[in-house]
Amino acid sequence: MKKNLFANLIALSTLPLLTTTHALAVDYSVKIENLTHSSYFGPLLVSAHPAGTTLFTGGMPASVNLQKMAEGGDISGLETDLMAAGANNVVNPAAGLLMPGKHTTASLANPAATNTQLSITAMLVPSNDAFVTMNNLRLPTMPGTYTYLLNAYDAGTEANDEIRGSGAMGMPGMPVAPPLEALVGTGGTGISATAEGFVHIHRGVLGDHNITGGVSDINASSQRWLNPVARVTLIVQ
């Protein structure tokens, strides 16, 4: 009887080790869909990273690298930040802009045991400083399919004037990608002149129906959006 009890204790003590081994062998397929009608996602950054690393904290000022991404679509700074933390990154899986109604897929093969969180981000175009994001999702380790809806956030670094601009950090105005050149208006006088100063859920763009004037250069008939703006399907194998 004592021998059997001892054997059972040994078997039970190995279970956490087996679970850890299984977790290390997990692969992830991350499908990202653009749910908007006429807005594009800038280059996407998909990352499995440690729990102590985050893209942003809601209610707090954005980092410089988050500002670069949200205002101009530049993900290189955030990529560097995450790499310094030992993250597994997939950069620009759509090879450019992700069109409305389209999807792209990123594969995260066997992330390191410490990379327990999933984050995704990209700028919304056209916008002043809106970005779609998943921030610090705990990666599931059980095989299966998991679905999430993603909101757009406002970096709070630039006034949402909804007027054409360069997209350069710290400069007013929003970049207009070539596919949107004929769809985005001109001559808007501006909706807002004040930046909020902190990251928050985006309230959506307003736009107007005047293609050569009005208060906004965004076309309210086709380019207006409300949350959520993306769907992520995570397949765990």
Tens of pLDDT along the chain (237 residues) come to 434 433 333 333 333 333 333 344 589 999 999 999 999 999 999 999 999 999 999 999 999 999 999 999 999 999 999 999 999 999 999 999 999 999 999 999 989 999 999 999 999 999 999 999 999 999 999 999 999 999 999 999 999 999 999 888 888 899 998 888 988 999 999 999 999 999 999 999 999 999 999 999 999 999 999 999 999 999 999
Please choose, from the candidates 156, 151, 147, 155, the residue with its C-alpha nearest in 3D space to the C-alpha of residue 134: 151
- Residues 6+ positions from 67 with CB-CB distance below 8 Å: 129, 155, 157, 169
All structural domains of the chain: 25-236 (2.60.40.2130)
Q: Can you give the pTM of this predicted structure?
A: 0.88
For the chain, the residue count is 237
Q: Which of 93, 64, 96 is nearest to 81 (CA)?
A: 64
For residue 107, what are the β-bridge partners? 29
Residue 69, helix vs strand vs coil:
helix
Burial class (CB in 10 A: 0-12, 13-18, 19+), 195: middle
What stretches of the chain show up as alpha helix (H) in DSSP? 2-13, 15-24, 64-72, 76-84
Q: If you ran DSSP here, which 8-state letter would residue 206 be given? A: -
Q: What is the pLDDT of residue 26?
A: 85
